[in-house]
A and B are shown apart, each in its own frame.
Chain A
Amino acid sequence: EAGVTQFPSHSVIEKGQTVTLRCDPISGHDNLYWYRRVMGKEIKFLLHFVKESKQDESGMPNNRFLAERTGGTYSTLKVQPAELEDSGVYFCASSLGQGNLYEQYFGPGTRLTVT
């Protein structure tokens, strides 16, 4: 069974540009989470999808971030326009269903560098 995959693994962009990160959860997992780790800081929750619906987006830093999960499968996280403080590692995680919320499987992360 394939794990959670993320694309790209690395992205280097200039301030003001747009970047789209993609996450493919484990097949059949209804729950999808995005987290971010800024260098030297803790991993922080961004948002949670249940299928295609946003269940909790309390961690989204501002309206430059837009997350979608079309058809309840893969998810994208777009940053537009990117700022220097957006640099960090973006992790995606998925879990099966209501009874398995606490069994999250993480992807390897996307390292975003904004210059």
Chain B
Amino acid sequence: AQSVTQLDSQVPVFEEAPVELRCNYSSSVSVYLFWYVQYPNQGLQLLLKYLSGSTLVKGINGFEAEFNKSQTSFHLRKPSVHISDTAEYFCAVSPYNQGGKLIFGQGTELSVKP
């Protein structure tokens, strides 16, 4: 079985400050890793994914994440946030060879203040 824990339910930050959203996972099988973002009144949008290769993954809108296998973590970072980054962020895993289904964390609400 798999589980995903997002360590912060809410993260307030000032504009242009750096931010890190934390994600840890547990799985008895190998998994792929994802971060999704949901802006108000919209569907989830894929920010980035780790399937293989370099453990540092770059995504859209200046976000990046680092896969740490020993710590089973996949934290999301951005060096300088904008007001428009205010949204809910979801970390997710997908077990190998299980059809692509996603197991999500509880979500982190990022609030960027001027």
Contacts and interface: CB of A to CB of B under 8 A. Distances in A.
A42 B102 contact: no
A103 B41 CA distance: 21
Interface string A79-115: 0000000000001010100000111111111000000
Interface string B1-45: 000100000000000000000000000000010101000011111
A85 to B, nearest CB: 18
A102 B43 contact: no
Interface string B77-114: 00000000000001010100011111111110000000
Contacts of B32: 102
B107 A42 contact: yes
Interface residues of B, number: 25
A48 B101 contact: yes
A45 B90 contact: no
A106 B99 contact: no
A39 to B, nearest CB: 12
Contacts of B42: 108
Contacts of B102: 33, 35, 43, 45, 104
Given A42-B106, A44-B104, A103-B46, 15 more contacts: A31-B100, A33-B102, A35-B102, A35-B104, A41-B106, A43-B44, A45-B101, A59-B101, A101-B99, A101-B100, A102-B34, A102-B49, A102-B94, A108-B42, A108-B43
